Chain A
Amino acid sequence: DAGVIQSPRHEVTEMGQEVTLRCKPISGHDYLFWYRQTMMRGLELLIYFNNNVPIDDSGMPEDRFSAKMPNASFSTLKIQPSEPRDSAVYFCASSPRTGVRGHTGELFFGEGSRLTVL
């Protein structure tokens, strides 16, 4: 089975440019999460969706960040305009609805998108 797929794996851009990160969750999973990993702040939850609807975006750092989930198989995280402090690894994760038989409660992570803003 295919896992969570993220693209691009690496992105280098200049300050002020728009960045779009993409995620394809595991088919059938109801929840999708965007996390950011930096040396200073570790792993932080940015936003999560349930059935394509944003539930909690309190972790989104500022208005420059936006996330969408137009359908069950695709989500984007956009940064516009990007700044050097946005440099990080961005992880997408998905999970089935909790309580589903056999589900042990873990999140399934993609391989991450490493963003460098110069």
Chain B
Amino acid sequence: AQKVTQAQTEISVVEKEDVTLDCVYETRDTTYYLFWYKQPPSGELVFLIRRNSFDEQNEISGRYSWNFQKSTSSFNFTITASQVVDSAVYFCALSEAPYNNAGNMLTFGGGTRLMVKP
């Protein structure tokens, strides 16, 4: 069975601080995909990034960066120089073997609520 754990339920930072959101996952599959979604106060779920289990390269997109480490089963998300607009709930998710036509059934972590104060 697959499981995603986001131990931090809530984080509060002051604008311009860097912040890292932790994600730890469990899976028996050797092929899997990891995702991060953002849920702003308006409620929709916005896709941020996908990573497959064969690619451990870190990725940077503007102020966002992701650190994937298979050795520790972690896929952490860092926001550099946080802004008030980053305030949202962030979800980490796992999909096992999506390339077998089973569909991208995502298992979500519990989410981390990030509050960025001005």
Chain A residues at the B interface, C-beta cutoff of 8 Å = 31, 33, 42-43, 45, 48, 50, 55-56, 89, 91, 93, 95, 97-99, 104-112, 114
Contacts and interface: CB of A to CB of B under 8 A. Distances in A.
Interface string B91-108: 100010011111111111
Given A33-B105, A99-B99, A112-B43, 16 more contacts: A31-B104, A33-B103, A43-B91, A43-B111, A45-B106, A91-B45, A98-B98, A98-B100, A105-B35, A105-B98, A107-B47, A107-B104, A107-B106, A111-B42, A111-B43, A114-B43
Interface string B73-89: 00000000000000000
Given A99-B99, A112-B44, A106 B105 contact: no
Contacts of B43: 89, 111-112, 114
B66 interface: no
Given A98-B99, A99-B99, A105 B104 contact: yes
A91 B37 CA distance: 14
28 contacts: A31-B104, A33-B105, A42-B108, A43-B91, A45-B106, A55-B103, A89-B43, A93-B45, A95-B103, A95-B104, A98-B99, A98-B100, A98-B101, A98-B104, A99-B99, A104-B50, A105-B33, A105-B35, A105-B52, A105-B98, A106-B47, A107-B47, A107-B104, A108-B47, A109-B44, A111-B43, A112-B43, A114-B43
State the 5 A-B residue pairs at the shortest beta-carbon distance, nearest first: A43-B108, A109-B45, A106-B47, A31-B103, A98-B98
B103 A106 contact: no
Nearest to A112: B43
A57 to B, nearest CB: 12
A29 B109 CA distance: 25
A106 B108 contact: no
Nearest to B47: A106
B44 A42 contact: no
Question: Which residue, of B42, B91, B101, has the highest number of chain A Cβ atoms within 10 A?
Answer: B101
A98 B103 contact: yes
